[in-house]
Each structure stands twice: as structure tokens, then as C-alpha cells.
């Protein structure tokens, strides 16, 4: 399920009993991962069929680009809560 949190376009994916939040655009060519499929703990890109491990975001073997960003999701009585990690503050030189 595609969602927007702040300015971030994310995807909520059910992996068995677990819910995972990922970035929505594939890190390879920006394909919309909401058009892909999820099976066996992996999210498959609809454009080039590389897949991402939903535990750590790593890309399938033989592909050489960065891992998919994953975000912590906590189920609570009032809904789902996402933990968005902030980027490290930049130092001014």
C-alpha cells in the first residue's frame, strides 16, 4: 500500500505477520515498487525483476546498487507508527 509520510513516498508491505515500510522508488531506476510483488520475504521490482530482502533491504545477487531503505513499523491500538531516522546533521565548515 503506497503512503506519504511528510515528503517521503513509502510503501507498506505485509510479509507474513510483519508489516514493513520501504521507500517506494527502486534505488536502481526509480520504478514504482508498489507495482511489484512480495513473496518469500522479498519485494520484487516490476521493472527489472531484482528483489529486495525485507529484513535488511539487500538487493538480490548479480545486481550492484544500494540496498532498499527500510523503516521500522510498530503496530499499536491506535494504528501503525513509523520511525523515520533522521539524517546526521551536516557540519558547517
DSSP letters, 28-77, are TT--BGGGSEEETTEEE-TTT--EEETTT-PBPTT--SPPPPEEEEEEET
Mean pLDDT by 10 residues, the chain (93 residues): 85 88 92 93 92 94 90 86 60 39
Q: What is the pTM of this model?
A: 0.80
Look at residue 21 in the predicted model and tell me its pLDDT.
93
How many angstroms separate the CA atoms of 35 and 78, rounded?
28
Tell me, what's the pLDDT at 66?
A: 92
What's the CA gap between 30 and 18, in Å, rounded? 25
Amino acid at each position: 500500500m503506497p503512503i506519504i509520510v511528510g515528503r517521503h513516498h513509502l510503501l507498506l508491505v505485509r510479509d507474513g505477520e510483519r508489516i514493513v515500510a520501504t521507500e517506494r522508488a527502486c534505488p536502481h531506476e526509480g520504478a514504482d515498487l508498489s507495482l511489484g510483488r512480495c513473496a518469500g520475504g522479498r519485494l520484487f521490482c516490476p521493472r527489472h525483476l531484482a528483489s529486495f530482502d525485507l529484513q535488511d533491504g539487500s538487493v538480490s545477487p548479480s545486481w550492484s546498487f544500494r540496498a532498499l531503505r527500510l523503516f521500522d513499523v510498530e503496530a499499536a491500538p491506535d494504528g501503525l507508527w513509523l520511525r523515520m531516522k533522521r539524517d546526521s546533521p551536516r557540519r558547517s565548515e
